[in-house]
Amino acid sequence: DGGRTMSLEELNASIDSIVADVWMIEPHELMRRTRLRHIAEPRQVAIYIRVTVFHNKEAQAAMYYKLNSSTVYHAVRTVAELTRTNRIFRDRLNLVMQKAELVKKIYFDGK
């Protein structure tokens, strides 16, 4: 094998770090219970990445961020809508998705 796979904890930290970096916030801010757009939007993206790229169940993503499942469902829908209607958001999301796909390869390598 030669490569080292990452733990779930490392995976979670990587996802938060990627999103936070692209949105220029600190990763721990994704856990803040706030509706401020500069925090809520990247948190919605992190949820979207967990559900769509890493195939987490909505309940898993909800538990991680200490939210309810309907909030996670709303986040996934919101990201899909913003991707359709907002070019700058779409460009940022695409950057996150590219990085997330690399992390996914590392995480699932050998599993």
What pTM was estimated for this model as a whole? 0.91
Per-residue burial over 77-91, b = 16 or more CB atoms within 10 Å of its CB, e = otherwise: ebbeebbeeeeebee
**Cβ-based neighbour number of residue 16 at 10 Å:** 24
* Residue pLDDT, tens place only, 26-74: 999 999 999 999 999 999 999 999 999 999 999 999 999 999 999 999 9
Q: Rounded mean pLDDT of the chain? A: 92
Residue 31's CB is within 10 A of a number of other CB atoms, namely 14
